[in-house]
Chain A
Amino acid sequence: MKPETNTLERSQTSRMPSWELPPANIREEHEAYLLELEMPGVSKNGIEVTVENNELTIVGHRQDEPPKGEVVYRESRHGDYRRSFEIDTSIDTGKISAKMEQGILKLTLPKAESVKPRKIQVVD
């Protein structure tokens, strides 16, 4: 049984047309969920992580200026990023930590004590 599989789900409704949706990787480890989001052009000062009710929202504001001059060719959208995930009570929201490394936001979402795997000693 793996109730955790439903813990982190993107809520589709929160996508707004003006925001860029950053690609995400989510992995579960023993003690925490690790969430990585690609947000090139965002430094650590441009990150906002909020938890409201069951929703974890990450907003990344771009600080990099587009280069000077006229556009010859352009593929990037150069918008701010936003993405929301639904989280449940298995995450200790008070202990979420974040790190920004070359445009990758790395969030550690520690599991609440109650859901951590526990070794039970056998006593006779």
Chain B
Amino acid sequence: MKIIRYQDPELGTWSPLNRLASLREEMNRLLDGSLAGFSENVGLFGGWSPSVDVYQDKENVYVKAELPGMKKEEIEITFQDGILTVAGERKQESEVREGESFRSERFFGKFHRSVSMPTKVEAERIKAAYKDGVLTVELPKAAEAKAKQIEVSVS
């Protein structure tokens, strides 16, 4: 299963330091030896990366993404070749605002996360809901995937 790693927003850093902090993160990642995904992770290039959870039961696969402060129309969900992609852009309410900013820890801009499914799912029956800043996608498992599971549990 290939998932882009989540970049924890560095709490407590002031806006001018955010860039530097994410650069440091990227350097650490390089040193970790995981070159794959370096260019995919948009953290360094002005985006952000929401956290994603994947659950499954007998009937469904559930993907949960924390996307606070979005409009549901701005969330783009696509499914292709067994990979679910959630993308979008979180916009600042207005670009220019009066007054001084004291703390700026929230990330704005584009994001893009892909999750490959642990089993075959029925693409036509995928459902999604967005509530309290949390996106939940329900992906019903395909009949053959369910049949396989039953075999295993009987033996």
Q: Footprint of B on A, CB under 8 Å?
A: 5, 8, 10, 21, 23-30, 36, 38-43, 63-64, 66-76, 78, 100-104
Contact = CB atoms under 8 A, between A and B. Distances in A.
Contacts of B101: 25-28
A67 B64 contact: yes
B103 A24 contact: yes
Max chain A C-beta neighbours (<10 A), residue from B58, B70, B71: B70
Interface of B: 1, 3, 6, 9, 11-12, 51-58, 60-62, 64, 66-71, 97-107, 115, 118, 130-134, 136
Given A41-B132, A73-B54, A23 B105 contact: yes
A104 B66 CA distance: 11
A70 B149 CA distance: 14
A29 B118 contact: no
B55 A28 contact: no
B56 A70 contact: yes
Contacts of B68: 38-40, 102-104
Nearest to A71: B55
A39 B69 CA distance: 9
Given A23-B106, A25-B106, A75-B53, 16 more contacts: A8-B103, A24-B105, A25-B103, A25-B105, A27-B102, A29-B99, A38-B133, A41-B133, A64-B131, A66-B64, A67-B53, A70-B56, A76-B66, A78-B53, A100-B132, A104-B133
